[in-house]
Amino acid sequence: MTHFAEVINGVVTRVIVAEQEFIDNLNNSNQWIQTSYNTYHGINDREGGIPLRKNYAGIGYIYDNIKDVFIPIKPFNSWILDDSIGDWVAPIPHPNDNKMYSWNEDGQTWDLIS
């Protein structure tokens, strides 16, 4: 069985598990794109696995058919799409000190969660 994302007007509306034959025999004009739950940020976490479309599709994700990638929902207006991972990143890198932070959109900072 394989995972497929239903894409309508470039937006993922649902993700199902089905055989390719089932997808091939659907009588609708919607686009069905294969996706892999093993793929995140362009890496397949299974040994020897091939990454598929940068990310596993989720409802509301955008499917960019030019880049052939599933892009998550943009979390904040200031965040920038990183094409190398197919995901949004903050304009300031997240601190790497094993502490918990939340993004402050107004201040454009990472605020320590106490």
Give me the half-sphere count of Cα atoms (radius 13 Å) on the Cβ side of residue 64.
Answer: 14
Neighbours of 98 (CB within 10 A): 5
pLDDT at 87: 98
pLDDT in tens, 54-110: 999 999 999 999 999 999 999 999 999 999 999 999 999 999 999 999 999 999 999
- What is the value of pTM for the model shown? 0.88
pLDDT tens profile 11-38: 999 999 999 999 999 888 789 999 999 9
Q: Tell me if 4 sits within 8 A of 34, measured CB to CB.
A: yes
Q: What is the pLDDT, as a whole number, of residue 27?
A: 82
